[in-house]
Amino acid sequence: MFNQTSLSLREARAIGAYIRFMRKKKHLTQEQVCEGICSVTYLSKIETGKVIPNPEIIDHLYERLGVTTNSDLKLDFDHLKITLYECRQAFDNVNYPKAEELYQELNKFEDYFQQEPEFFHQFRLLTFYHRLVTYKMDEAALIFEELSNIVDQFNQEKQLQFYNYAGIYYGIKQDYSKSLEMLLKAEDSMEYLQKKNPHLMLHLALTYSHLKNSVMAIFYANQALTIFDSELLYLKSIDCKMIIGISYTRSGNYHAAEKVFKNIYKLGDSLGLNTIRALALHNLAFNYGFLNNKPLAKEAYLNSLSFREENDPKIADTTLYLIDILIEEGNYEDAKTQLNKLQQYTWLTKKSKIEMQLAWYKLNHKAFPDDLDDEMNYINYLQEIVIPHYQSMEEKEFLKKKYKELGEYFYRNRKYKLSSQYLLKLTET
């Protein structure tokens, strides 16, 4: 028996939403449920939270729906709260099979969530996260726009979640400046709540790494690492260490970086994770390049590829770096073999396709240095395709190299006006 004599409007909305959910779950019409109890209009108002219902009517509706007491409602509330939390944690901790299972369980309650404000925003935030993790970016964009319009209504906990996910959203889109803007807003909420969120700090570290700010990347990665280590979240700890190693390489601390990547490789080896082995070896090879140790770099790139699955998109980066070494050492046939193999992949990004085409031009130029037509095709490709693409991505270091290359090319060919234009861009970048 329903034992509350008076209800708040919020409680009435929750009960109404639950009645609607149970009715639809049992495939009953409003007419079937309310027959002999109340009018269809009154039931409709109960379900949509527009009226505070009479307790006797709730009793009769519960009885018809097979709900014995309002404790069933509380039980479902508690279960849903726990499931929402566990699903979010599973996504955070990269336990995607469990996260997907929990998300699909929650998704069955979607109609109920739409009627109950307590859960609606939580579920939409979780759905936003789900779409990001599963790379359904068109759907994520729609949810992002929806939540952006109501984020000011959220409490600090929900604002932290939204801005954290918004940072991930812009990170996937490679707009790292906007990503940082979102993540710093999430950090404001974290500081207000006075509770460290290592996942947010990891995202901050990753974003600063993309923005080539090694000091801040190391700072946030170390903060997150301390917490992940204490919670025995080894995969997240490895993510932090990877960012630290990359930042060491970027700042010229190559021997410290080498030590970090070797440590990560050992961890990946002990856990039997090929993805970790492959990534550690790739970064180790890249670091060896700065130490001018091309034999070790080449060996590490080859070993990295041996641990990668055929559908791993990171194959492209590793292969392209390997090709660069093969061309530099004059091993043109092996370079050509690797390029032909890379060309077979249908999932290459625009960036990878551009870099692959640049590698073809470099190979042909090294193998046939007197082919002026090929050189001109290369220069046109730089001007028309490569430069605009990297300008849109704000890849300043890459652009500086290409501006210098174009400036020197046009100077050699006595096109001084064009040369000065590119050298000016070099100084302004």
- At 169-188, the pLDDT tens digits run 999 998 999 999 999 999 99
Are residues 417 and 382 located together in one domain of the fold? yes
Of the listed ranges 77-86, 228-237, 253-262, the least confidently predicted one is: 77-86
Confidence band (pLDDT; 50, 70, 90) for 109?
confident
* pLDDT value for 1: 45
- Give dist(CA 34, CA 43) in Å, integer: 7
Are residues 314 and 300 located together in one domain of the fold? no
CA atoms 127, 130, 132, 135: torsion sign: negative
- At 246-287, the pLDDT tens digits run 999 999 999 999 999 999 999 999 999 999 999 999 999 999
Please state the rounded mean pLDDT for residues 205-215.
96
The residues near 49 (Cβ < 8 Å, ≥ 6 apart) are 9, 12, 13, 16, 17, 115
CATH code assigned at 54: 1.10.260.40
* Residue 386 included in any domain: yes
Residue 106 has pLDDT above 80, yes or no: yes
Measured between alpha carbons, how far is residue 126 from residues 116, 311, 399 in Å? Answer: 15, 27, 38
Residues of the chain with pLDDT > 70, as a percent, come to 94
* Residue 313 included in any domain: yes
- Give dist(CA 17, CA 12) in Å, integer: 8
* Residue 159: how many other CB atoms lie within 10 Å: 20
Residue pair 245/283 in contact by the 8 Å Cβ criterion: yes
* pLDDT value for 74: 55
Are residues 398 and 377 located together in one domain of the fold? yes
Domain that holds residue 19: 9-69
* pLDDT value for 390: 86
Residue pair 257/224 in contact by the 8 Å Cβ criterion: no
Residue 76 has pLDDT above 90, yes or no: no
Are residues 47 and 61 located together in one domain of the fold? yes
Of the listed ranges 32-46, 241-255, 364-378, the least confidently predicted one is: 364-378
* pLDDT value for 164: 98
Q: Which helix (H) or strand (E) holds 41?
A: helix 40-47
* pLDDT value for 118: 67
DSSP 5: S
Chain mean position to CA 61: 45
Q: Which amino acid is at 329?
A: E
Q: No. of H helices and E strands in the chain?
A: 24, 0
Spell out the alpha helix ranges (H) of 231-290. 234-250, 254-271, 274-290
Please state the rounded mean pLDDT for residues 220-225.
98
* Residue 211 included in any domain: no
Are residues 14 and 65 located together in one domain of the fold? yes
* Residue 401 included in any domain: yes
Q: Which amino acid is at 235?
A: L
Please state the rounded mean pLDDT for residues 292-312.
95
Please state the rounded mean pLDDT for residues 295-299.
98
Q: What's the number of CA atoms in the CB half-sphere (13 Å) around residue 258?
A: 14
Please state the rounded mean pLDDT for residues 161-167.
98
Please state the rounded mean pLDDT for residues 139-144.
96
- Give dist(CA 343, CA 337) in Å, integer: 10
The residues near 89 (Cβ < 8 Å, ≥ 6 apart) are none
Instruction: Count how many domains the chain has.
Output: 4
Burial 322-344 (b: 16+ CB within 10 A, else e): bbbbbbeeeeeeebbebbeebee
- At 1-43, the pLDDT tens digits run 444 556 677 677 778 877 887 888 788 999 999 999 999 999 9
Residue 219 has pLDDT above 90, yes or no: yes
Start-to-end Cα distance in the chain:
73
* pLDDT value for 44: 93
Residue pair 165/128 in contact by the 8 Å Cβ criterion: yes
Residue pair 224/236 in contact by the 8 Å Cβ criterion: yes
Are residues 333 and 376 located together in one domain of the fold? no
* Residue 195 included in any domain: no
DSSP 152: G
* Residue 204 included in any domain: no
Residue pair 91/130 in contact by the 8 Å Cβ criterion: yes
- Mean pLDDT: which of 12-21, 49-58, 223-232, 361-370 is highest? 223-232
- At 325-362, the pLDDT tens digits run 999 999 999 999 999 999 999 888 888 999 999 999 88
* pLDDT value for 162: 98
* Residue 417 included in any domain: yes
Residue pair 382/406 in contact by the 8 Å Cβ criterion: yes
Q: What is the mean pLDDT of the chain?
A: 90
Q: Kindly report the CA angle at 401 between 400 and 406, in degrees rounded to 5? A: 95
* Residue 202 included in any domain: no
* CA-based radius of gyration for the chain: 29
